[in-house]
Amino acid sequence: MKEHSILIGGSAGDGSKKAGLIIAKLLSSYGYQIYIHEDYQSVIRGGHNFSLIRASNEKVLTHRDEIDLLIAFNEDTIKRHTKRLKDKDMVIYNSDAFEFDRGNGFPIETIAKNIGGLLIMKNTALVGAFAKTVGIDWNTLKKVLISELKVATDKNLLVAKEAYKTAQAKMKIPKLSSYKRPLISGNSAIVLGSLKAGLDSYFAYPMTPATSILNCMAQKGVKYGVKVFQPENEIAVANAAIGAAFAGSRVMIGTSGGGFALMNEALSFAAQAEIPLVVVNVSRSGPSTGLPTYGGQSDLFHVLSAGHGDFDRFVVAPGDPEEAFYLTQLTMDIAWRYQIPSIILSDKDLAECTYSFDLDSLEKYTPGKLSLWDRKGEYKRFKITKDGVSPIAFPGEKGAVVKATSYEHDEFGIAIEDEKTTKLMQDKRSRKFRSLEKEISKIKAVKVYGNKKSKTAIIAWGSVKGAAIEFAKEKNIKMIQPLIMSPFPEKQIKRALLGVSRIITVETNNRGQLAQLLRYYGIESKSVLKYTGRLFTTKELISKIKI
């Protein structure tokens, strides 16, 4: 594997994230596959933020601990990260801010000032110095800067040029090809997937790390007619979405664990009223406010059991943007065809890290057929059918009186309290889920990587898959990833585990939630857990799991 890891860090407000993205785009222009790991604190100014860019000739879904180059806006970044350096002299830093005895310092603030630019342009200067240091040609840099810096582009170019002239080539990042892939985050992939699936409305209340879905919808979704609505709280979000879906709008809502908790009652309502409610829960480190800008997979049990009363839900857990794109389409389709609450369980690292996205390798999703009312006879919103799914009609349709309710109800949607109808309706709703289980058994709900014949397997889900795959490859073992969490693909997991005698479940939560879920299905595994808000790296897995 040909690869390069570059860490750029500073305090909030330095613009290190933007500089990191430009660096990633430069390397992407050189044909590399990218993964950017983002680490930031819940502050607007100050603190320590960094982006770790890994560029490789192969697909990468995780970062490495070691780095080839450190780019520092401040001394704090040096103190925190020099130990990661393979070559301790490979440092580029802001010599206006501090003195350092190794690497190359650039007076980036002075450069920005002399050109007559804003102080923030120091990040452009640092990018210029970087490009020269690793041997990226000026034209490539210029092109990327023009497309990335739409404001004061000319000044930025002058600043970059000045720093570029001053710097010297220290290492060579060779050009692989001219094939440049788009760089997207897990959240963007969910946006794209939902647009592909014909999204009509997106409702949300801001909450990290789900907020960028709302922002992206407001910026891009509206062009495609998406109604973006930010109500007063998550309870309003969920209930308004149920109303919108009832009126025929393909709606999606998004939040993180705390907001999802507020939506619990509505989730149960959606199940009772048979409303296709699609919820994105981008989990972060809890309990409670926890570490608001850090990750974790602590919401698996939460999404599987959220909402009072007995009801089933569809739950997917993508591990990379391609899966997020595909599974969002699947979820919207399933939610509408089965008229059930459906959840896309993402996590902070998938949501906010950036990945090369290969459109050509994407699996094409073909949605199924929606059961619509045939306009014959009296309309029954909750008509009893063999598979449990009642044909759908929306208010506004001539000849149909569409009635739904949070109460237990009869076929017309009128509240009832008798035992017979209660059982009939409970059975009808579970029959839908049995039908869904059958459908899910025919699609790929579990992925297998690495040495498929190995007697040792690790099981990982969500964003942990990146490190787990690399670990499995390095140790020549099998890696299994469930993509659908409900209905749980028991048979597919058991098939993947045939011949396996040792199972290790790797998760970023404290209780080993997937391991407990597997135990429910009779699968015993050893848990390897991390619950510090940070992702596993391959190196950590190597040190924690002896093969």
If binding means CB under 8 A, how many residues of this protein chain bind another protein?
61
Q: Which amino acid, residue 253?
A: I
CB of 214 to another protein, least distance (A): 14
CB of 230 to another protein, least distance (A): 10
Q: Where are the alpha helices (DSSP H) in 199-289?
A: 211-219, 234-246, 257-262, 264-272
Instruction: State the residue for tokens 């930010």.
Output: 230
Span 239-258, contacts to another protein by CB under 8 A? 239-249, 251
Of the candidate residues 287, 377, 396, 522, the single one contacting another protein (CB under 8 A): 396
**Can residue 175 be called a binding residue for another protein (CB under 8 A)?**
no
Q: Which amino acid, residue 431?
A: R
Residue 337 in contact with residue 330, Cβ under 8 Å?
Answer: no
Q: Which pair of tokens denotes residue 85?
A: 């350096």
Given the complex with another protein, which of 251 and 446 has the nearer CB atom? 251
Of the candidate residues 75, 265, 387, 437, the single one contacting another protein (CB under 8 A): 265
**Can residue 169 be called a binding residue for another protein (CB under 8 A)?**
no
Given the complex with another protein, which of 392 and 404 has the nearer CB atom? 404
CB of 266 to another protein, least distance (A): 7
| Cβ within 8 Å of residue 301, ≥6 positions away | 511, 513, 516, 517
**Can residue 179 be called a binding residue for another protein (CB under 8 A)?**
no
DSSP conformational letter for 416? -
Residue of 535, 450, 459 lying closest to 497 (CA atoms): 459
Tell me the window of 116-124, 304-312, 393-401, 496-504 that interacts with another protein (CB under 8 A). 393-401
Alpha carbons 417 and 408: distance in angstroms, whole number: 7
Residue of 105, 117, 32 lying closest to 71 (CA atoms): 105
Span 342-371, contacts to another protein by CB under 8 A? 357, 359
Of the candidate residues 308, 399, 476, 526, the single one contacting another protein (CB under 8 A): 399
Residue of 530, 536, 534 lying closest to 510 (CA atoms): 530
Strands 33-39 and 46-56: antiparallel
Residue/partner pairs of 375-384 with CB below 8 Å, 24 or more apart = 375/399, 375/400, 380/411, 380/412, 381/274, 381/411, 381/412, 381/413, 382/274, 382/409, 382/410, 382/411, 382/412, 382/413, 382/425, 382/428, 383/411, 384/411, 384/424, 384/428
Residue of 119, 111, 210, 106 lying closest to 167 (CA atoms): 106
Tell me the window of 68-76, 108-116, 233-241, 512-520 that interacts with another protein (CB under 8 A). 233-241
Alpha carbons 389 and 63: distance in angstroms, whole number: 45
Span 270-309, contacts to another protein by CB under 8 A? 273
CA 273 to chain centre: 29
Residue 355 in contact with residue 35, Cβ under 8 Å?
Answer: yes
Given the complex with another protein, which of 69 and 267 has the nearer CB atom? 267
Given the complex with another protein, which of 269 and 488 has the nearer CB atom? 269
Given the complex with another protein, which of 160 and 191 has the nearer CB atom? 191
Of the candidate residues 119, 146, 171, 401, the single one contacting another protein (CB under 8 A): 401
Q: Which amino acid, residue 62?
A: T
Span 71-110, contacts to another protein by CB under 8 A? none
**Can residue 146 be called a binding residue for another protein (CB under 8 A)?**
no
**Can residue 137 be called a binding residue for another protein (CB under 8 A)?**
no
Span 14-33, contacts to another protein by CB under 8 A? 28
Beta strands in 112-197 (DSSP E): 183-185
Span 479-498, contacts to another protein by CB under 8 A? none
CB of 146 to another protein, least distance (A): 13
Strands 183-185 and 201-204: unpaired
**Can residue 505 be called a binding residue for another protein (CB under 8 A)?**
no
**Can residue 411 be called a binding residue for another protein (CB under 8 A)?**
no
Given the complex with another protein, which of 383 and 494 has the nearer CB atom? 383
**Can residue 415 be called a binding residue for another protein (CB under 8 A)?**
yes
Tell me the window of 52-60, 127-135, 188-196, 519-527 that interacts with another protein (CB under 8 A). 188-196
**Can residue 405 be called a binding residue for another protein (CB under 8 A)?**
yes
Beta strands in 249-317 (DSSP E): 251-255, 278-283, 314-316
Span 198-227, contacts to another protein by CB under 8 A? 198, 200-201, 203, 220, 222-225, 227
Given the complex with another protein, which of 158 and 190 has the nearer CB atom? 190
CB of 309 to another protein, least distance (A): 12
Given the complex with another protein, which of 96 and 148 has the nearer CB atom? 148
Given the complex with another protein, which of 287 and 396 has the nearer CB atom? 396
8: exposed, middle or buried (C-beta count within 10 Å: 0-12, 13-18, 19+)?
buried
Q: Could you list the residues that contact another protein (CB under 8 A)?
A: 28, 180-184, 188, 192, 195-196, 198, 200-201, 203, 220, 222-225, 227, 229, 231-233, 235-236, 239-249, 251, 265-266, 269, 273, 357, 359, 394-407, 413-415
